[in-house]
Chain A
Amino acid sequence: MSATWAVVLLVGVFTVAFKGAGPLLLGGRALPARVLRIFELLAPSLLAALVVTQAVGGTRCLVFDERLVGVGVAAVSIRLRTPLIGVMILAAVSTALARWAL
């Protein structure tokens, strides 16, 4: 088997297992209250980390580039109660404009 297919197979098996584990093994079951309290905070902490990694993440370094313009515009438009669809479009357009202009 080539290196490529070994990677495709192994990463595939791990990912399918990660994604499927919860629904398959615990699907439909109520989780204990203690665990639920953890998961209540999982969404904000994980989402915040995703915002940071997607906004300033590079390869083993922080990269401050035009994405920050988009994220800044997104923050302001969220504040102004723009629907999420508009927030995403404004972020993309402002980032594209910044890249074009700078």
Chain B
Amino acid sequence: MKERPRHREGAKRVSPLAPASVSFGVAYGVLAVTAGMGVVAPIVMSATTFAGAAQFAAASVLRDGGSVLAAVGAAVLLNARYLAISVSVAPAFGGSHLRRLLEGQLIVDESWAVAQIDRGRIDRRLLVGAGLLLFPCWVGGTVLGVFGGDALGDPRRLGLDAAFPALFLGLLATLLVSRRALVAALLGGLTALVLIPLTPAGVPVIAASAVSLLGLARR
């Protein structure tokens, strides 16, 4: 099947998040500079780590005078879910080792979410297309932010922070086709809700994904 049109379709599906991604990139850049990270390091981090929440967490810890270990620990915990996601999407990836490694870097919550097709499978081309749109938005936003491009204003004031749960909710709704999926969603959401006040950021989502181990139970 053709690559290009599916790439474009993936990009189209996440396109409403492009302004949000730029805007949060700017916010991250501004935060990173106030945290004393300089201008080059935040840009390098956006290009290599490419994961918003983890980068915000690391920069906040550094700003508050936390240790390297604390900053790395918080970010790694937040990104651990990507290990589960990356293993789950593996069958969809092909080509050379380098290509698989590079395309894997385009996995973010949003690109993974819009690439769902059915029963836990994803379309790699949708994921790659979505990631290829979000990557320059995020890195470009960071560049604007570190060079003082605060002019875009607070993304929260524009309500952009609500676009993310809206996307995830919309995609979740399409997946609730079986009783098992419904139960998994309810348990996953409940797990996160209970753990948010009790555990460091990142743990609630990882614990919620452990709910999927119920898939091993007999039907």
Show the binding face of A for B, using Cβ within 8 Å.
3-8, 10-12, 14-16, 18-31, 34, 36-62, 66-67, 69-71, 74-75, 78, 84-85, 87-99
Contact = CB atoms under 8 A, between A and B. Distances in A.
Measured as residues with beta carbon below 8 angstroms from the partner, the interface class of chain B is 35 or more
B97 A24 contact: yes
A102 to B, nearest CB: 12
B41 A8 contact: yes
A46 B85 CA distance: 9
A23 B100 contact: yes
Contacts, number: 318
Contacts of B83: 18, 21-22
B153 to A, nearest CB: 11
A67 B68 contact: no
B201 interface: yes
Contacts of B166: 70-71, 74, 87-88, 90-92
26 contacts: A7-B58, A10-B72, A11-B55, A12-B48, A15-B50, A16-B49, A16-B101, A19-B86, A22-B85, A22-B89, A23-B104, A25-B90, A27-B94, A28-B90, A41-B212, A45-B188, A46-B209, A50-B113, A50-B168, A50-B205, A53-B192, A53-B204, A54-B164, A54-B165, A84-B170, A88-B166
A84 B182 CA distance: 20
A92 B90 contact: no
Contact of A88 (B100, B163, B186, B193): B163
Given A49-B208, A87-B170, A24 B165 contact: no
